[in-house]
Amino acid sequence: MKLPRLAILGIFVVAAASMGTYIGRGNLELNILNPVKDRKEIQMIPEGFDPKEVNLYEGNDVCFVNADTVERWPASNIHPTHGIYPEFDPKGPVAVGEEWCFTFELPGIWRFHDHLLPQFSGIVTVKDK
């Protein structure tokens, strides 16, 4: 039996469309399970932190960008031990022009300061998902 060319083309189109739907669903599921991370940026400027407060959901990042002319060191309170959220500490200065990003896994209101310039402070509020 010889299928007309149109029928063969039709079968091919249906097969390709189903595959597209399948791939589409796969991507959708992947996106639900692994949503794109939110990224909040805090500039470290000569006047302090800008902005001084950011809000985000747990599992997302805050990146501290050194836009100052000297080394900066954002870290969890309390100065000088950083014991309230010890992981929230780069454990060293962030060079001029560099950035340090931290993923906040714990919900809470996290106060921070600059370890080298402790008069500068800010707050990261992390909400439960």
Our CB check for Cu ion shows the closer of 42 and 60 to be 42
Our CB check for Cu ion shows the closer of 19 and 109 to be 109
Q: Is 72 in the site for Cu ion (CB under 5 A)?
A: no
Chosen residue from 79, 101, 117, 125 binding Cu ion by CB under 5 A: 79
Q: List binders of Cu ion among 97-126 (CB under 5 A).
A: 115
Minimum CB distance to Cu ion, residue 87 (Å): 14
Q: Provide the token pair at 68.
A: 């100052």
Q: Is 80 in the site for Cu ion (CB under 5 A)?
A: yes
State in Å, rounded, how far the first CA of the chain is from the last one.
Answer: 60
Our CB check for Cu ion shows the closer of 39 and 91 to be 91
Q: What is the DSSP string of 48-114?
A: EEESSEEEEETTEEEEEEE-SSS-B-EEESSTTTT-SSTTS--SSPBPTT-EEEEEE-S-EEEEEEE
Our CB check for Cu ion shows the closer of 4 and 80 to be 80
Question: How far apart (Å, rounded) are the C-alpha atoms in residues 53 and 123?
Answer: 5
Residue numbers at the binding site for Cu ion (CB under 5 A):
75, 79-80, 115
